[in-house]
Amino acid sequence: MPFFSKKAVLSKTDVSTKLLELGQKSDQFTLVSSPETDFVVERKIVNAAGFGTTGADELKKGYKAFLLLDEQAHEARYNEELTETSRDANVSPSGGGLSMEKSVFRGKVLGAKEFGKSWGVKKEDDQTSVGKIYDYSFDVSKVRDPIKKIVEDAGWKFKQVVSKGDATYKK
């Protein structure tokens, strides 16, 4: 074997098969084929509602990525999206209020680690109980790194892109 041997480059079909296998095994995310791009990667970070010390609270956070495999360039283009929606209905003797906040980030996520915990009164299936409303942790590298490894082990380049249009089919 030559000292500087070049790694064999797998076909788009072989890379796709390996990615789908990863998506089936992962407990960190789902990875499915999409009509908009080759694959959509998703992770529901938290989806919880309950009653805290000052009123009703709701929190939803999600991660989504679009993955396009360019067989000519042997390049996987990856665009990420983080979403968050929160609602607070506060009631207190000095007044109260209702607030809602929604944020969306799309592009290259360089790094993201977060966690959160909340306790209060929760309602599930017509039952009310006191306890943990949510307890979550999220590390983007636990989603992105296994996908990147498969792509690079296949002899392809993994490229994070700023625009969703760079990771979806041209219309």
Do 47 and 147 touch, CB atoms closer than 8 A? no
pLDDT at residue 53 in the model: 57
From residue 45, alpha-carbon distances to 22, 41, 66, 125, 144 in Å are 19, 13, 17, 22, 14
The pLDDT tens digits for 121-136 are 766 666 677 878 889 8
Q: Is 116 left (phi over 0), alpha (psi -120 to 50) or beta?
A: beta
Distance CA 83, CA 47 (A): 12
Q: What does the pLDDT average to over 47-57?
A: 73
pLDDT at 31 over 80: yes
Residue type, 110: L
